[in-house]
Structures are given as structure tokens and as C-alpha cells.
Structure 1
Amino acid sequence: MSELSVESTAREMAAAVRERRISARELLELHLDRIGQRNYELNAIVSLDVDRARAGAAAADEHLASGAPVGALHGLPFAVKDTHAVAGWCTTYGSPLFADHVPDADELIVERIRRAGVVLLGKTNVPEFAAGSHTFNTVFGTTLNPVDPTRSAGGSSGGAAAALASGMVPLADGSDMGGSLRNPASFCGVVGLRPSLGRVPEWPLYNQWETTSVGGPMARNVGDVALLLSVIAGPDPRAPLALGDPGPTFAPPLDGTLRGLRVAWSLDLGGAFEVDREVAAVVEDAGRLMARSGARVFGAHPDLAAADDVFRTLRAWHFQAKLGPLLAKNPTSFKQSLADNIRAGESLTGADVATAYARRTALAETMRVFFQSYDVLVLPVSQVPPFPADQEFPTAINGVEMGSYLDWMRSAYFVTVTGCPAISVPAGLTAGGLPVGVQIVAPHGAERRLLEVAAAFEAARGGAA
């Protein structure tokens, strides 16, 4: 067996399997050992099926031995987010209404991950129907932060982030409406990328023209995020809004620099939201590090004042359209915050939704013009560090009351409605040692450039290449 460990990069693991320095069986056992050590406490991976995983690893080894071509992720252990349908595997969406649900077919992102050769071992935990940036549900319970298990792992891809940070898996998929890839990455000290609209196509969807939530990759470093993006990105005839660049466009290695980069840095988009003082200190340090590394850092931000109403309107409309009939039939089977969000969509008019889309179009144009003067925008990922796991959401920041479970997520969802890609990269720690990420945003369609900038920032902090 090679000297690999569960802390090795996904790229190192994949190369070692291809070169037969480690078998898929051996690699799986390393990760099952770590799952046995950490998952009981953290509750990151659910629906674990060890026998099926071992059979999959054996099949991966046999496939490689046959001389047949292998995919980019061949032999890597993988757990799929529990909101993404996997054929023949329990997929609950974090809801008691689907506690025994077993889909007949993979959805598109899972098709692509499977085709790349992964060894499936389970699912990663989510909040109910992926609503909220704290991962808990009545089916499996709460996912805890690997850095401090008294704290939230974030959400909705909280199980994925916790599994990554604790070495239970080398890569993870996720999805992001209001920050669900970025927030848990920040909380757990890993990397999460929300791609541009259309970069990672989704199918099936109840509405192929609804463009608030997107799928995307997570990993412990930027290069591994690029590897997974290269697998899940690219057009598909079933997804009419998919962008045309093929997945391998985004594959590592990444060659980026901060020297000469035009960085717009903003703590709060001109007072649009409150930011915890410890988070603010980390984001300020990130700006100084970029400047020391040769970037030209300017205090600047786009005007995204309309983003709050746009996001809340489209979120409520989307939730009501998708989940309203289910709530009507099962009024006591939803957590209260989600039920309230669904019901908020009932009073929306066609004019309300049309206005939200018109404003969203204007926000996208604002960003297009803004990025003529700057290469990237840097701001907080989350307005708070990881909060206690027994809270549903932070109720105040710096003494300022948060009126709902959405208020503390503005730094993420304001970016959502612009359609631009955004990545969360580890940037520092609070005084108590809790992870804090920085959010880097690029123009729509500029994932390759964004990954290169993120990798350069990671390297400037002394992180993985």
C-alpha cells in the first residue's frame, strides 16, 4: 500500500489508484476506518452501506485490471448529498415524508459522478428539503462541526462539508440556493464553489427555467474542487440553460497569481448587512494578504440593494410551487421555518414574481458593468462564525437582532441572485479556533479564472497547491 492517508488530496488518491499504488478496496477501507472513528459523533454520512461500498470497490479494481478506460475519479470513495437522487439508494431529502424513499434513477449530477468511477458508500446529511444553513432533520438528526462538535457544520451541504473536513470522503457534491455550498465550507474549513447559472446542469427539475439553486463541488482544497467541477460541468440536451463549455475546461492544474489582480473588497456591501467582528477581522486580513501578494485592492462594491427582496420573493415562489401541495397534504410534517417560507409564496402575485425577475436582470447587468473595472469581488461568506448546534439560526449579530432564519445569510444570497460564480476559501480562524472563509466572486461564466484566483489565495496562505 502507498503512503496515502485520508488527508491526501483527491488528485493524489485518484493518481495512486490509476497507477495501482493502492487499490480501490484499500482506499475504501482507509475511509471506512475514519468513518468509524468520526461519524458516530458528527453524523455527517447517512444511509451508509458498507457491503455495497465494498462490492463497488471490488468492481472498480476489476475494471482497472481489465485494461478498460477509467474516469477521472476512479476508485474514490464518495457520499452523495441526500437531496440528490441516487438510483437504488435511500434518498430522504431530510424529510420524514421520504424516510423510505428509494429513487429509480440517478439525477444528472449523480450520473456524471458515477460515470467518473466513484465508489458510492452513502449519502451526506441535509436540513429538511435543504432549507436553511444549519443541518438538522427529524430523520437523521443534527450534523456537527468537526472542528468543534458543539457548533453547527452549516448547511444545507453540512453533511458534505463535515465529512470532507474530517477525512471521511475526499470530495463531495452539494447544491446552493442561498449559500448552501459556501456557508458549510466556511464553517468547516473546506472549499465550496457555487458555479454560474448553467455551469452544472440539473435534471430532472420540476421547472427547468427556475434558476435560483445550482449544484456544485466541495473539497478540502481548490485543486480538488476543480477536479470535481471538471466531472460535473458541461452541457446536456436535457438541460436547456446549460452553458456550453465542456467539463475538462476546468480540470487542474491551476495556474493563477494575485499579482496585478484588480480586487474589489467589501465587508458589508455598503452597510447591507451586519458582520460579526471576528469574521470581519478575518476578511480584513484576507484583503491585506492579497495586497501583500501583489493584488491591487480597492474598497468598492456593486449596488445590490434590490437583492434582498429578489431573493426572498423567488425563494418563497419556488418553495410554494415545489412543496406547497405536499405541505397542504401534510401540514404537521414540516419544520416551522420551512412551512412559513412555503406559505409566504401563497400570497405572491404574478406581478410580484415578474418584478423580482426584472430586478434580478438589473442586478446581473450591474455585476457585468462592475466587473469591467474589477476582476473579482471579495466579501464575507457568512456573516457569523459557526454558531452553537442547538440553535436553528443566529438570533443576533453584534447585538443586532436577526428577524428570521434568512437574515444572517445575506452575504451569500445577495450573490446568489446575481448569477455569478462564487467560491468559499478558508481564510483564517476566530480567537476560539473556529474556521472562517472568504468569498471570492467573479463574472458570470468565469469559473476557470475564479479557480485560479482562489488557488493563488490558498497558496498565499500556505495551503495546498
Structure 2
Amino acid sequence: MAELHDLTAIEQLAALRAREISPVELTRHYLDRISRLDDGLGAFVQVTADAALARAASLDDGDTAGAALWGLPFADKDLVTRAGVPTRFGSRLHQDFVPDATADQAAVLDEAGGISLGKTNTPEFGLTGYTETQIAPPARDPWNLVNGAGGSSGGAAVAVAAGLLPFAPASDGGGSIRIPAATVGVVGIKPSRGRVPFASGLDSPGGLPVAGPIARTVSDAALLLDVQAGGRPYPYATSAPGRRAFLEAATAAAASARIGVTTVSPWDDAEDIRLDPEASRAVDVATALLADAGHGVNRFEWRPRGYGEMFTTIWRTSAARMHLTDAQLELVEPITAWLVREGRALTGTQVLDALAAATVFERETITAFAPFEAVLTPALALPPQPVGWFHPTDAPENFSQQVRYAPYSSFVNVAGLPAIVVPVTLSASGHPVSVQLIGRPGGEARIIALAAELERGVGSLPKPDVWRA
């Protein structure tokens, strides 16, 4: 017999609106699963059960059933403040911080009728592509608890993959949505720079971090992205979508598209990037599915140079903006302290040169990808790695490991492009393996439609054993 979490977010929303289930009933269902299952998963760092149930009851009593997410549970990434709820930013420096204001990233989902169940696990300040900290258990891959779940939205991805949430808001500055989503076999969307008003990327060095959704299906992710993109006034160059533009794209037939395929990463000239055979096979599977659907699919040459030094400089610059004292640097993770110190050692000329190089890289990448409506790449280069695999004390090696694990992620942020990861096949061990589709600037709808087509072509993939618990 199907459980409530077996329903997609869209199906749950339909059941709520038809009064087949109530917000309180659905909230209790997910809180029960979290209480029983999360100890071994590390998805949550804070569960706000009383507040969630009170919120659900208020929705039951109100007249807001037409709201876009009415009665659907979610959870805030622990980089996002919510008034009265501890926000630790994955760091022991903030173990006792309780904000008195709610950030727009959370408020927008509240206004759409969502119900926050707490805070999802994230690495310190969201700086790494894995979720292992000094203050919380690591986020683990529900398919194999020996392995980590990626990061920095690791807790959000685990919660969705394990059926602890129907979907989750997340953020992505160098792959932080797509890396964990691909690691645990769910869908993640990184929007274009400027697409989501409250987390546009336009106020950060290089314009890297944006907000987006993680979900089990493309349609569920599109539902959440519609809310995120439309939840605030729109002062930026990327135009606001229609009210349900992304959900409509996910459910409509994909128009014929020209799709470029590459397994080249811009890190290839700086790191020893080795593509796992299962990741390569996933690209072949997706290529065949798209070709069979009538799209023009072609491999193409793309040989960027000098990316590694430029991105590393910008990442260090972003870390150096944190106002940490020398005493505080002794308390943070070694990778955090290294990035901050390296960033502070940069000269103004080095920073400005890197930012100028990023602008050139953006233009050259968009030009190289221009013949195609979408570009298909691997999502990750390597399969999920064991907790502790990323070196805990050798920061330069740790950074290199992150690059070798996910070399196809950060360049999309630098170029400001939209991207989606979607599982398309299973490895020999039965673990989902994903690919990435990268769109043109503002081209979320097109890649969402293509990802949905891949999803339909693949059919139903199995879920981890914890799903049935």
C-alpha cells in the first residue's frame, strides 16, 4: 500500500487541495519519518516539530488553499535564517546563534503556504562539496550509509532521497545543489544568474551563488522553482517567468532541440580528472535517449584554458570576505581556515585579474555553447565516496579532491548558466547515476523539458531501502 511519501509533491498538493489529507496529517507523517530514520542519515540538524504542527494547524483553519505550496512540508538549509530557530551555518562559531529575522529564502516559501520542518545539514558556511562538520553527524548517501552525500546542500538532498521531505530549497555557489543531488540520485536545478531575485548571485564575487530546488522528480523541482523565481519583485536582467512556467515546461512535450555533448571539464588542464566508466555510460544512455526522441545530438570540442587558477582565486576571495579573527580561524574547519588565509594573501591585482578572467570565461563559454539549446555533461566524475574520504587536515589536497569529484559543476556558476541534474541509469551496484544538462542564459524551461523527457524515457528507478522503512 502506498504511503504519503510515495506520492510526488504535486500529487501530495492535489490530495491536500481535495481535502483527502490535511496539512497536519502530512506534517505528522514526515515528522514521524524524520524521528525514526534521520539518526543514521544526517539530513537534519534541527527539527522544529512544534512550530511545524502549529503552522499546519493554522493552514487547516485558514482560507489559503490556493497558495502554490499549500500544506507541503520543506526545510530550510542551515545557511538560511529563520526567526527564533538556531542557525549554525555548519560551524561551531555559531552554535548559539538564534536570529530574530527570517530571510527571504524562507519567507517566500512560507508565503506560498509551505511548512518548514527545521534545518537541513550543510558544511561550514557552505564552502565544500561534501557535508561533514565538527557540529553534526555527516550527511550520508541513503543508498549506502558508508558514503557521504555531497554538499553543500547535502542534508537537503538526503532528506528528499530518503523520503523525509517531498522537496527542499537549496543553494548552489559552485555545485552545491547539483553535487549532492547527483550523489544521492535525485533532481537538482541551479538557475541562471539573476533568475531568483532573493538569491540572484549578483551581489557576490563572480556572481556565483544562487538558490534553487532539490526534488525527486523534474516536475516537483519545477514546482518549487516557480515559487522561488516568482516570490519577490524582479529588478534584474533575467525576466520573471510566468506563474507556472517551469512546471508547464516539465509537463509539456519537449520541442526538438540541438544538444551538444562533452565530457571535457575546464579543470582538465589543472587537475588529474578521471571520468568513472559509470559516469561515461550515463552520458551515453542520455545521448541515446535524446537522439531516439528526435533531438539533434552531437559531440563537440571545447577546450577552455586557465580556469582552475581563476576559479580558485575567486573562491578564496569569497572566503576572505568572512570577518573571522585569528582566534576564530583556529576553531573553524581546516579547509575554511586555509581558504580564508589564502584569500587574505591575494593582492588586489590578483583578485581583479581573476574577476576579469571570469567575465572572459563567461563570454567564451556562452559562445562555445551557443549552437546548442542545451549541453549534456556528466554530473560527477566519480561515484559517491566514503565519509572521511575528503582529507580532513590537508586543505590543498581536500580542495583538489573536491575538484576531481565534481569538475563539471563550478564553471556553470561562473558562466551564470542554468543547469539540471537528473538520474538516467544505475551503476553495477544499483546506485543511480546522473547527467547534467546546461542551458542558455535564462533557458531553464528548455532544460527542464529535456530533463523531464529523459526522466520519462528512463522510467521508474528504484528507491533506497530506507524509503520503505
With the length of structure 1 as denominator, give the TM-score of the two structures.
Answer: 0.91
Deviation at 1:4, TM superposition (A): 5.6
Shift of 1:349: 2.0
Match of 2:55 in 1: 56
Match of 1:217 in 2: 213
Which of 239, 243, 266 aligns to 2:238? It is 243
Matched length = 453
Partner of 1:385: 383
Aligned to 2:247: 252
Q: Give ranges in structure 2 of 5+ residues lacking alignment.
A: 462-469
Q: Which moved more, 1:270-279 or 1:209-218?
A: 270-279
Q: Which amino acid aligns with 2:353?
A: T
Which moved further from structure 2: 437-446 or 261-270? 261-270
State the partner residue of 2:111.
115
Identical aligned pairs, as a percentage? 35
CA contact (8 A) 1:25 1:54 kept: yes
Distance 1:243 1:359, change over 3 A: same
The reply to whether residue 178 of structure 1 matches residue 203 of structure 2 is no
State the 1:205 CA deviation.
9.3
- After superposition, residues 7-406 of structure 1 pair within 5 angstroms as 7-63=6-62, 67-68=63-64, 70-202=66-198, 207=203, 211-234=207-230, 236=232, 241=236, 243-246=238-241, 248-253=243-248, 254-257=250-253, 260-269=256-265, 271=268, 273-321=273-321, 323=322, 325-392=323-390, 403-406=400-403
1:432 aligned residue (429, 432, 445): 429
CA contact (8 A) 1:231 1:247 kept: no
**Residue range with higher mean Cα deviation, 98-107 or 251-260:** 251-260
* Superposed displacement of residue 250, structure 1: 2.9
Please tell me the residue identity of whatever aligns with 1:50: A
> Secondary structure, in 3 states, of the residue corresponding to 2:425?
strand
Inter-partner Cα distance in structure 1 for 2:365 and 2:252: 22
**Contact persistence 1:208–1:240 (CA under 8 A):** no
Q: Secondary structure at the match of 2:409?
A: helix
Contact between 1:194 and 1:422, CA under 8 Å: does it hold in 2? yes
Q: How has the CA–CA distance of structure 1 residues 296 and 51 changed in structure 2, closer, same or farther, with 3 Å as cutoff? A: same
User: Aligned-pair distance for 1:97?
Assistant: 0.9
| 8 Å CA contact retained: 2:370, 2:440 | no
Q: Partners of 2:450 and 2:143 in 1: how far apart? A: 26
CA distance in 1 between counterparts of 2:7 and 2:140 reads 23
List 4+ stretches of structure 1 deviating above 6 A.
203-206
Q: CA deviation at 1:255?
A: 4.4
Distance 1:413 1:394 in 2: 22
Query: Distance in 2 between the 1:290 and 1:204 partners?
Result: 31
Task: Give the secondary-structure state (helix, strand or coil) at the position aligned to 1:6.
Answer: helix
Q: Give the CA RMSD over aligned residues.
A: 2.6
- Partner residue, 1:448: 445
8 Å contact 2:170–2:177 — kept in the other structure? yes
Q: Partner of 2:5: helix, strand, or coil?
A: coil
Whether the 8 Å CA contact 2:262–2:377 is kept in 1: the answer is: yes
> What letter corresponds to residue 263 of structure 1 in structure 2?
I
Contact residue 4 and residue 13 of structure 1 kept, 8 A: no
SS in 1 for 2:326: helix
Q: Displacement of 1:71 after TM fit?
A: 1.5
TM-score of the two chains, using structure 2 as the length reference: 0.90
Deviation at 1:209, TM superposition (A): 6.5
The alpha-carbon deviation at position 241 of structure 1 amounts to: 4.2
Given the superposition, is the C-alpha separation of residues 330 and 68 from structure 1 closer, same or farther in structure 2, using an over 3 Å criterion? closer
Cα distance, 1:258–1:58 mapped onto 2, change above 3 Å: closer
Runs of 5+ unmatched residues, structure 1: none
Residues 152 and 387 in structure 1, CA contact (< 8 A), matched pair in contact too: yes
Paired letter, 2:129:
S
Contact 1:320 1:345 in 2 (8 A): yes
Alignment partner of 1:460 out of 444, 454, 457: 457
Which residue identity is paired with 1:419? G
Q: Please tell me whether the aligned partners of residues 367 and 443 of structure 1 are also in contact (alpha carbons under 8 angstroms).
A: no
User: Secondary structure in 2 aligned to 1:326?
Assistant: coil
Cα pair 2:193 2:202 within 8 Å, conserved:
no
> Aligned to 1:187, what secondary structure does the other structure show?
helix
CA distance in 2, matches of 1:257, 1:310: 39
Return the letter of the residue paired with 1:442. Answer: G
Render the CA deviation track for 1:129-175: whole Å, top value 9, x for unaligned: 11211111111121111111111111110100000011100010111
In 1, Cα distance between the equivalents of 2:124 and 2:205? 23
